Amino acid sequence: MPRRLLRLLSLLQSRREWSGRELAERLGVTGRTVRRDIDRLRALDYPVESTTGVAGGYRLVSGRNLPPLLLDDEEAVAVALGLVTAAGGSVAGIEDSSMRALAKLERVLPARLRPRLAALGAATAAVPYRGAPRADPATLAVLASCCGDRRPLTFDYLDRSGETSDRRVEPHHLITLQGRWYLLAFDPGRADWRTFRVDRIRRPVPAHGRFAPRDLPDPGPGGSADAAGYLVRSLAGASYRLTARLRVELSAEAVRDGLFAHVPGEIVPRGPDACAVRISADSAELVTQYVVAIAALGAEFTLDAPEEITARLRELRSRLPG
């Protein structure tokens, strides 16, 4: 493929839509040459659509067949690394398809990149999260497409109580946290932001039209509203069936550093050498594990918890030697 055609394809892959004038300026050619090169890409089975507007434009869309992708060196290595780690991830059925895709990528990589890929394959492994629900890859693909295209989305959602509801949302981001996939979206019907477990989403369907992207609320301590940070804060503020509250004679930072994962709740400073911890979950085992982990830090603490939790702690203490 000629270099200019490769450059044109790279531009079309990097952004949803380009005007003919923008492409001509980027490539240093005339609009007529752009139109001719677009026709050549279409002849190679790249599905390039013409768009209407004042000057007209082009966008690369999904087609019936998968044409070759154009990747630079860094992108190729990033894809390879993603395929290696995906085999141990939380997407259902991803293991075999990841390895097949990696084998195909290895066959077409330039010789200069093969040592780097071989080193990645030999030195990289992924340990799956035990007990984490597996997300359906087809569902993830629909959600990701709607996030990128700013298209509304409808689906059936099974909440933690087992109730199913019809939802129509403006999807913002897909986020993975501790082996679980979440969709962060704005729900116009409830006039608020919502997070949805992807493994509980059924029959996702893109809706007609597009929406203007909204800014996330609650920028957090650092002043920046990022999707991952918002999800962590949203989950931390949620209350579930069982809640334990502790006052720990350690700084909030020391408690966070001493734990094996994010607390399903909140850690709030109460001075330089004390903090309040709220642990909330539907699982008594999970709440108990975090209480024990905090106790293992060796600091003085007080506990206010439901009988279901304190009974488990008494039973655990009775089993310990000495």
Interval 226-265: pLDDT, tens:
888 888 888 777 888 899 999 999 999 999 999 987 888 8
Distance of CA 48 to the CA centre of its chain: 28
More confident residue, 307 or 90: 307
Question: What is the pTM for the complete model shown?
Answer: 0.62
Enter the tokens of residue 256: 């966070």
Q: How far is Cα 230 from Cα 135, in angstroms, rounded to an integer?
A: 21
Enter the tokens of residue 188: 């116009």
Q: How far is Cα 5 from Cα 204, in angstroms, rounded to an integer?
A: 36
Q: How far is Cα 297 from Cα 14, in angstroms, rounded to an integer?
A: 48
Note the pLDDT of residue 223.
45
Note the pLDDT of residue 128.
64
Task: Calculate helix-pair angle for 284-295, 307-319, nearest 10 degrees.
Answer: 60
Handedness of CA 186, 189, 192, 196 (dihedral sign): negative
More confident residue, 229 or 96: 229
307-320 b/e (C-beta count within 10 Å ≥ 16 → b): eebeebbeeeeeee
Q: How far is Cα 79 from Cα 260, in angstroms, rounded to an integer?
A: 29
In SS3 terms, 231-297 reads as HHHHHHHCCCCEEEEEEECCCHHHHHHHCCCCCCEEEEECCCCCEEEEEEECCHHHHHHHHHHHHCC
258-291 b/e (C-beta count within 10 Å ≥ 16 → b): ebeeebbbbbeeeeeebbebbbbbeebeebbbbb
Which of 204, 148, 210 is closest to 174 using CA atoms?
Answer: 148
Mean pLDDT of all residues in 156-161:
89
Whose tokens are 């506990």? That residue is 303
**Structural contact between residues 157 and 196, judged by C-beta atoms closer than 8 angstroms:** yes
Distance of CA 261 to the CA centre of its chain: 18
Note the pLDDT of residue 246.
96
How confident is the model over 175-233, as pLDDT tens digits?
888 778 899 999 999 999 999 999 999 999 999 989 998 888 765 554 445 888 888 88
Mean pLDDT of all residues in 89-96:
64
Q: 25-39, 103-117, 129-143, 274-288: lowest mean pLDDT where?
A: 103-117
Handedness of CA 29, 35, 40, 46 (dihedral sign): positive
Note the pLDDT of residue 177.
80
Note the pLDDT of residue 101.
72
Note the pLDDT of residue 322.
64
Whose tokens are 């290696």? That residue is 84
Enter the tokens of residue 204: 């996702």
Note the pLDDT of residue 13.
78
Residue 169 has pLDDT above 70, yes or no: yes
150-163 b/e (C-beta count within 10 Å ≥ 16 → b): ebbbebebeeeeee
CA distances for 299 relative to 28, 254, 295, 302, angstroms = 67, 10, 7, 10
50 phi, psi to nearest 5 deg: -90, 140
